[in-house]
Structure 1
Amino acid sequence: MPPRIQQQTLFTRPMVAVLLCTLNGFAGFYLLLSTVPEYAAQTSGHTAVAGIITGALMASTAELAPAGRRSQGTGWNGVATGLGGTVGTPFGVLLAHRFGYQPLFVAGTVAPLCGLLAALFIVAPRPAPVVRPRVVTGIVRPAILRPFILLTAGAMASGAVVTFLPLAAPREPLWLTPVALLLFQLGITGSRWLAGRLGDRFGNRALLLPATLTTAVGVLGATLTGDSATLLILMLVFGAGFGTLQNATLVLMLQRAGRKGFSVAGAQWNLAFDAGLGLGGFCVGIVVQSTSYSIGFAVVSGLLLMVSCIALRDVRAGGEAEGEEK
């Protein structure tokens, strides 16, 4: 969807209500499906609607937050989105393991209805004049490309862990995988808030390298499914690193795009995030077929270590003023 339309029309009360009801309908249809192509088509529509909501929320948050506190604004945005994952990811796995998938799909159908209450209190910001949207071609700009690559690599690690940890970890004890995913999501949610405060105080560029390295170390926890304590600790570390990376890359892309490009930058960030999630599950799945889950997770960790040089390059790049508004 064009960023101009996204920012100017989506964050109104009627449109949010329509989008949430659409999201609710997509979740309910899972109960009626039986084949892989049907599930693939359904999931594509479901994630498309969720992506539109997330992109509009990002652009509106950037508009509403003062320039000097934009990191904190996106941090609270991350807390809001992270709370859903904190509840849904671990307890979804637990529901599926314990009761099967039908109760899970019913819960996914009911949950979006809670957002209808919040829609009553939405105040849409007045959008800035939007320049010609260049979502894909604008990524090649080095100042945007560096955080784009870092986020894509981090999202690949997240996609790999969320997809394959429930399969790689032992079924007993039953609580191990849900608790590991809960700690991962809690790490993301808490670090988004903390990264917002640190970003406004010290600059988001300084957070890129430690966030990338922490994510690379944390994902190795998925290779240690036989040691419950180490797995849980590293999943928390993994979430903290990835959450910090999310917030730092988002704010940098927004600031470098300038106020007129907030919607474009938000769309680019979502593109990196969603592409990374899909690529992580797909690529690690290919590796796992001929090797093992541990090697698949180790490959993703190695990828993050490789792209850490991009984070270092961004730190050393002194050409772009981090807080510049265009």
Structure 2
Amino acid sequence: MSLPTDPDQPILRVPGIGALVWMSLCGFAGYALLLPTAPLWAIHGGADEAGAGLVNAVLMAATVAFQTTVPWALRRLGWRSTLVAGVLLLGLPSLALVLTDQLGWILAASAVRGAGFAVVTVCGATAIAELVGAARRGRAIGVYGLAVAAPQVFLTPSAAWVAESVDFRVVFVVGALPALAVPFAVALGNRLDLLTAGHADAVAPHVHDGAPAGRARMLLPLVLPSLVLLAVTTPGGALLTFAPQLGYGALVAMVGLLGLTLAAALSRWLVGGLADRFGPSRFVPPLLLLCAAALVLCGWSITGSGPGAAWLVVGMTLVGVSYGSLQNLTLVTAFAAVPDRERSVASAVWNIGFDTGTGLGSLVVGFIAAGTSFTVGLATTAALCVVVAAVASLSARTAARRAVQ
């Protein structure tokens, strides 16, 4: 249960939001720096392409696995202890990478970092719902989204260059930045422990005693927002992974990724006010269709008869608009779909959907491209967006009819 706040108070002035923003900036800075660098470090140590690919695969697998345990940790340990453990687990293993470039050591560090990343992602999203009332939640998620996206926009494209041109160890030392977020984690944890005092189950999953039907009823409202999120993060993950392999070289890939990540960050922030004013559901189908059209443009631009590199950049930027906006809208929808006591469950399910979609984009599009082409792979993800847009539109019309009745 969130404490009431002044509805005219700027989001950044809400108690706890400042600490959340700084914790997220530090946490995602470490994540963004090591995302491209840790696999390169494995290759430096003699690993092949498959071994390097395992580095981030282990990171995401550990993240998804531990995200399911975060609601339990919040219930048993409280916010402060859970958050402090999360930022330390995410940051300190980066320093361990300085010791060796052997694959086994890197994979172990990735698994530990995944556990910390699970805490930071689930708790960050849940904290927004605890700190800010539903009427302004879209704008608050937008501010949080900027804190999450900014490090990825500015650090991910440059991390590999710094590692190879200066020294890998510089990146690894700076990659420990999440560990410096302990004071922010403590401040945020104290605020949230105060808010949830007296109702210990406020952050715990609520399931009727031993009844599978109770669990199903709790999770059912989260299916549609998770499906929408999966539909947009699958192509997003594919473009983030394969942009350098789309045929136009490193410079075009860098510009395209900059367009995608900047558009995602800005749209995730700006769409929050629209979601608060008009509700999120009306924007979902058009944004999915925009994503599908942009993916078709990307696929067409990399064919021999396509319009060229500039249109690939345009297409990736338009994908970024949908990618960022739908992250905000699906999280708003997920929180609105469950009782207050299940916010951490909604956050965990949302984050699992995000990370699963990102992983599937790399895996599925890569598999399709190996057998056919990247154009076919991107067209497949576009088709997925169209199908889910139809499902979301039908669901919205059904809900509207029920409201009238």
Normalized against structure 2, the TM-score is what? Answer: 0.69
What is the aligned partner in structure 2 of residue 168 from structure 1?
246
What is the aligned partner in structure 1 of residue 283 from structure 2?
207
1:92 matches 2:168:
no
**1:60, 1:102 → 2: CA distance?**
34
1:77 matches 2:144:
yes
Which ranges of structure 1 fall in alignment gaps of 5 or more residues? none
Matches within 5 A, 1:162-241: 162-171=240-249, 174-223=250-299, 224-225=301-302, 227-241=308-322
CA separation of 1:320 and 1:159: change in aligned 2, threshold 3 A: farther
CA separation of 1:15 and 1:317: change in aligned 2, threshold 3 A: same
CA contact (8 A) 1:184 1:235 kept: yes
Q: How far apart are 1:60 and its partner, in Å?
A: 1.1
Normalized against structure 1, the TM-score is what? Answer: 0.85
- Deviations 1:213-239 (Å, cap 9, x if unpaired)? 122223345433582321222222111
Q: What do you get for the CA RMSD once the two structures are aligned?
A: 3.1
- Deviations 1:115-136 (Å, cap 9, x if unpaired)? 3464464353223533645699
Q: How far apart are 1:104 and its partner, in Å?
A: 7.6
2:353 maps to which of 272, 289, 302: 272
| Secondary structure, aligned partner of 2:275 | helix
**2:78, 2:263 → 1: CA distance?**
30
CA separation of 1:8 and 1:236: change in aligned 2, threshold 3 A: farther
**2:151, 2:217 → 1: CA distance?**
29
CA separation of 1:139 and 1:193: change in aligned 2, threshold 3 A: farther
Matches within 5 A, 1:115-130: 115-116=181-182, 118-119=184-185, 121-122=187-188, 123-125=190-192, 126-127=195-196, 129-130=201-202
CA separation of 1:155 and 1:104: change in aligned 2, threshold 3 A: farther
Which ranges of structure 2 fall in alignment gaps of 5 or more residues? 1-68
1:106 matches 2:172:
yes
1:310 matches 2:391:
yes
**2:165, 2:227 → 1: CA distance?**
39
Q: How far apart are 1:181 and its partner, in Å?
A: 1.1
AA of the residue aligned to 2:102: S
- Deviations 1:69-104 (Å, cap 9, x if unpaired)? 1111112111111112212332235546x6398268
Q: Indicate the larger mover: 284-293 or 193-202.
A: 284-293
CA separation of 1:4 and 1:213: change in aligned 2, threshold 3 A: same
**2:379, 2:97 → 1: CA distance?**
33
- Deviations 1:25-46 (Å, cap 9, x if unpaired)? 23334452333x6555543432
Identical columns (%) = 24
CA separation of 1:133 and 1:203: change in aligned 2, threshold 3 A: same
**2:187, 2:318 → 1: CA distance?**
35
**1:41, 1:319 → 2: CA distance?**
49
1:149 matches 2:227:
yes
**2:127, 2:97 → 1: CA distance?**
31
| Secondary structure, aligned partner of 2:399 | coil
